């Protein structure tokens, strides 16, 4: 599958703002995410960095995944888009028509980050290969993964990963 998506340029403002973004993000994520119920419009992440929360748009239909964040010129710091595929597969993304700087987190079926592509170059048509076994991709502002400390092995909480996820949603019953 391919989809155009936006990412930050190499270096530049993202590198200069990374420490500030990290501090801001730490303050934003201070509320205990573990107590939050799962919602379709947010993802929670946890790892050695602590916990983080993103308000998301869900792209789980082919047309939504194809459109992605193309033409989006601004995305709030604690926001992102979660691309969900019907089954684990090899995925390919690109930045064509996407003026935003993005980090792409390639997530396996159990909700763990498999790979990370940081600072994808805005408007670049070069294919970004997410590799095999990808169930979902979370796109966030470029440079934010490094500022927070998100990397492979981080766990994602969202209803799409089900009860057998590495960090499952609490049972509503």
For residue 70, what are its two tokens? 């193309």
pTM: 0.82
Which superfamily, per CATH, for 12-29+38-161? Protein of unknown function DUF192 (2.60.120.1140)
3-state secondary structure string, 15-60?
Answer: HHHHHHHHHHHHHHCCCCHHHCCCCCCEEEEEECCEEEEEEEEEEC
pLDDT digits (tens, 9 = 90+) for 30-59: 344 444 679 999 999 999 999 999 999 999
pLDDT score of 1 more than 70:
no
- Cα–Cα distances (Å) from 169 to 25, 36, 69, 155, in that order, read 23, 9, 27, 12
**pLDDT of the residue at 37:** 76
d(CA 4, CA 153): 25
């Amino acid at each position: 599958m391919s989809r155009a998506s936006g990412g930050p340029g190499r270096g530049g403002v993202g590198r200069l703002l990374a420490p500030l973004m990290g501090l801001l993000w730490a303050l934003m994520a201070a509320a205990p995410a573990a107590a939050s119920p799962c919602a379709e419009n947010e993802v929670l992440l946890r790892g050695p960095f602590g916990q983080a929360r993103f308000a998301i748009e869900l792209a789980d239909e082919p047309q939504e995944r194809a459109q992605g964040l193309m033409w989006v010129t601004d995305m709030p710091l604690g926001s992102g888009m979660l691309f969900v595929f019907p089954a684990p597969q090899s995925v390919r993304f690109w930045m064509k028509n996407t003026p935003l700087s993005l980090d792409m987190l390639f997530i396996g079926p159990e909700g763990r980050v498999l790979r990370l592509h940081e600072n994808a170059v805005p408007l670049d048509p070069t294919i970004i290969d997410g590799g095999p076994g990808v169930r979902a991709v979370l796109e966030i502002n470029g440079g934010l993964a490094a500022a927070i400390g998100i990397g492979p092995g981080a766990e994602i909480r969202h209803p799409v990963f089900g009860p057998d996820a590495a960090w499952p949603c609490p049972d509503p019953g």
